[in-house]
A and B are shown apart, each in its own frame.
Chain A
Amino acid sequence: MKVIEIKDLVKIYNESEVKVHAVNGITLDFEQGEFAAIVGPSGSGKTTLLNMIGGLDDPTSGEVLVDGTAMSNLKGSDLTDFRLNNIGFVFQSYNLIPVLTAKENTEFVMRLQGKNSKECDARTEELLKSVGLGERMNARPAKLSGGQQQRVAVARALASKPKFVLADEPTANLDSKSTETLLDIMEKLNREENITFVFSTHDARVVNKARRVITVEDGKVISDERKNGGE
């Protein structure tokens, strides 16, 4: 079952005289349960691609379908609500609301969805335990390490039970040990919840954990490899 369909996606930036083809004709599909890395050097168009998949940016041409729905047909609050219910996000940094605890941050998207507190409590506790923060549920982000904060962000991304999770360079600010832990956690949750993960990176150690590796360069896919078992 195809969760994401990308058809001939193009993004051209027109800043100054020079046109930048940040994404230059990408066609890709993602199935449910995939654990895919988008790899490429800095400036190759990874962020631009993920933003368009996540409905945060409009393509110049082409389209993105999520579960059969064309993102370009959604506007304003409909698009925001669509993101809320279908996509989990993990950013490189500033993922969390500083005034809320780990538990409240995780719960936040569920509250936005209008879920009751019983449901929220159960799911957040389960997720925070899964990411190894069962003991730190009431800590505010400032009291957590960078790796722990990203783990809360992963828990938050999954709390809303999205169709897939997008993570743009989630490990860019982490040391290698935290990077490994985070990736292991993501992979575990990907299996347990059978939710598609698409993440970008230019870190070879991260690439090794992926079961599918899509390499982009100058806004084009130059290779798309699937591994069996994901080792």
Chain B
Amino acid sequence: MITAISWKNVWRNKHRSMIVIVAVTLGTVAGVFVAGMMKGWSDQRVDAAIYTEAAHLKVQNPEYLNNEEITYTIPNYNAVKTFIENQSNIEKYTSRTKVVAMAATSRGNTAVTLKGINPDDEKKVSNLYEFIEEDGGSYFDVDYKNPIVISDKTAEQLRIKTFRVTTELIDSLKSLQVPENVLALTQEYEGRRFYSKTKFRKAFESELSKSDARKYGALIAELAKNYQLKAKIVFTFTDMHGDLTYQSYRVCGIYKTSNTAFDAMNAFVLQDDLARVAGFGPADFHEIAALINLDNSTEKVEQLAISTRFPEVNVMTWREMAPDAAMLSDIMDIYYFIIMSIIFLALAFGIVNTMLMSIMERIKELGMLMAIGMNKKKVFRMIMLETVFLTLTGSLVGMGLGALVLKITNVTGLDFSSVGEGFEAFGYAAIVYPNIEWSFFFAIIVLVIVVGILSSISPARKALKLKPIDALRTE
């Protein structure tokens, strides 16, 4: 009965209640959306950290961590490898050699870590091969000698990535029905070559009207992008004997992940190609990267198993290799809770205010209710339930809408690439696929009920202070 009265009381002043309900709805949608975005982001970062960059576990020579010397290979490699192979929780692993090298082309140079890999093993542990750019060649699927896969970032630094207008580009612009003046300008640019997107766009767009620049600038720049596959890069590094060595590799693939720092550092060549020039023996490897089967909560167990058996090697989990991602995934739950709490704290003011108004309008009725025998506990319960219903209605609608928005954006993704370069520098994707766990909604419901109860305290106290005769006497 009291529950029914409370629910009906919510709708007494429909206009006023709707304002609160709409506010709570919007607040909840915003909260769900922001939380979903954070979660999507964090999940993507963790996924990238594990499945692209670091794997679950990495075995290295402890000395290599302090000093990336080519000679610090994994001690006792064959025994370690066999041990890992026999761990029932590890099926996928790969061994890599590493060389810190200076890369140079006729137009640019940069320092990278050359990783000698075996593509078949590597694909099992790292999904980097899925990040080969469109028009960016292939992941070692070539028949020429000494192929190398470098990042878009490295390509830019080595000026292997260019921007230029080709006849094909003009043809495709024609089919896209780009305005005449834009087309004319594009034709003027035919043959000119730029080494960075920014420079190309700056030059090109300065000759366009603002609105045309906004509409076509990015598109044309993207179409003008061109990777010079098969370009030769010369690497200089110190080999196993301490001698300076040169080796040239031909670009076969360009990859781009959402972590610019990772991209800038890593280039991949075939293990045998590297071993030959660097002087690696059959048991000379710098790291073994492994993925744990099924769930990744056993990584610590495996870490302990390996490092106990082989105290001479260093074993790191992805949590140690990508501490930012690990921390993010750990604090995510608290994060949502803080976001939602802030939103509901702000909403609570409105809720309290509305309830106070509602109580003030009903003083006489409350006096009557107390006079005919509704005790304080029941009055309190009535007001508390009323506040909870008021809050819960909006938040349920908000959760529904929020879930819908997440469901849609989870498929389409949210493109932050206009500001995304800043994120990618820290390893965060520019396109976010928001995502949320069901338990989050459960937590919101609990939070809403708590907020409702807390918000009802002040209005309820106001009501409970009333003496029935005074209340009945008011006009």
Q: Which residues of B contact A56 (CB under 8 A)?
A: 371, 468-469, 472
How many B residues face the partner with a CB closer than 8 A? 24
User: Looking across the interface, which residue of chain A has its beta carbon closest to that of B474?
Assistant: A94
> Contact at B472–A80, with CB atoms within 8 Å?
no
Q: Which residues of A contact B374 (CB under 8 A)?
A: 80, 84, 112
- Within the complex, the shortest CB–CB distance from A220 to chain B, in Å, comes to 21
Interface residue A184 (Cβ < 8 Å from any Cβ of B)? no
Q: Is A100 an interface residue (CB 8 A)?
A: yes
Query: Would you call B373 and A97 a contact (CB within 8 A)?
Result: no
Q: Kindly state the separation between the CA atoms of A76 and B464 in the bound complex, as whole angstroms.
A: 11
Count of A interface residues, CB-CB < 8 Å: 30
Task: Give the CA-CA distance A83 to B9 in the complex, in Å.
Answer: 25
Which one of B4, B12, B373, B469 contacts A51 once the chains associate, using CB atoms below 8 Å? B469
**Is the C-beta of B176 less than 8 angstroms from some C-beta in chain A?**
no
Residue in A51, A99, A107, A160 with the greatest tally of chain B CB atoms within 10 Å: A99
The answer to whether residues A94 and B372 also contact, given A57-B469, A99-B12, A111-B1 and a CB cut-off of 8 A, is no
Which residue of chain B is the closest to A111 with respect to CB atoms?
B1
Q: How far is the CB of A115 from chain B (nearest CB, A)?
A: 10
Shortest distance between the CB of B427 and any CB in chain A (Å): 56
A57 cross-chain contacts in B, Cβ below 8 A:
469
Contact B472 A99 (CB under 8 A): no
Q: Is the CB of B372 within 8 A of A83?
A: yes
Residues of B within 8 A of A14 (CB): none
Q: Which of B190-198, B298-306, B362-370, B402-410 participates in binding chain A?
A: B362-370
Asked if A130 lies at the interface with its beta carbon under 8 angstroms from chain B, I say no
Q: Please tell me if B202 contacts chain A, counting CB pairs below 8 Å.
A: no
In chain A, residues 150-180, which have Cβ atoms closer than 8 Å to a Cβ of chain B? 156-157, 160
B174 within 8 Å of A by Cβ? Answer: no
Q: Whole-angstrom distance from the CB of B13 to the nearest CB of chain A?
A: 11
Given contacts A94-B472, A99-B9, is CB(A109)–CB(B373) below 8 Å?
yes
A94 and B375: CB pair below 8 A?
no
Q: Which residues in B have their C-beta under 8 angstroms from that of A41?
A: none
Asked whether, in the complex, the Cβ of B373 is within 8 Å of the Cβ of A160, the reply is yes
Partner of B365 from the list A80, A81, A88, A94 (CB cut-off 8 Å) is: A94
Residues in chain A near residue B468, CB distance under 8 A: 56
Q: Report whether B375 and A77 are in contact in the complex, using a CB–CB cutoff of 8 Å.
A: yes
Closest A residue to B378 by CB, please name it: A112
Tell me whether A83 and B373 are in contact (CB under 8 A): yes
Contacts of B371 in A (CB 8 A): 54, 56, 83, 89, 91
Could you tell me if A76 and B376 are in contact, using CB atoms closer than 8 angstroms? yes
Q: A56-B468, A77-B377, A111-B1 are in contact. Are A98 and B372 (CB under 8 A)?
A: no
Is A95 positioned at the interface, with any CB of B under 8 Å from its CB? yes
15 new A-B contacts at CB < 8 Å, known A99-B9, A104-B1: A56-B469, A56-B472, A76-B376, A80-B373, A80-B376, A81-B375, A89-B371, A91-B368, A91-B371, A98-B12, A99-B12, A104-B4, A109-B373, A111-B1, A112-B1
Could you tell me which A residues sit within 8 Å of B by CB distance?
51, 54, 56-57, 76-77, 80-81, 83-85, 88-89, 91, 94-95, 97-100, 104, 107-109, 111-113, 156-157, 160
Cβ-closest 5 pairs across A and B: A84-B373, A99-B8, A111-B1, A77-B375, A80-B375
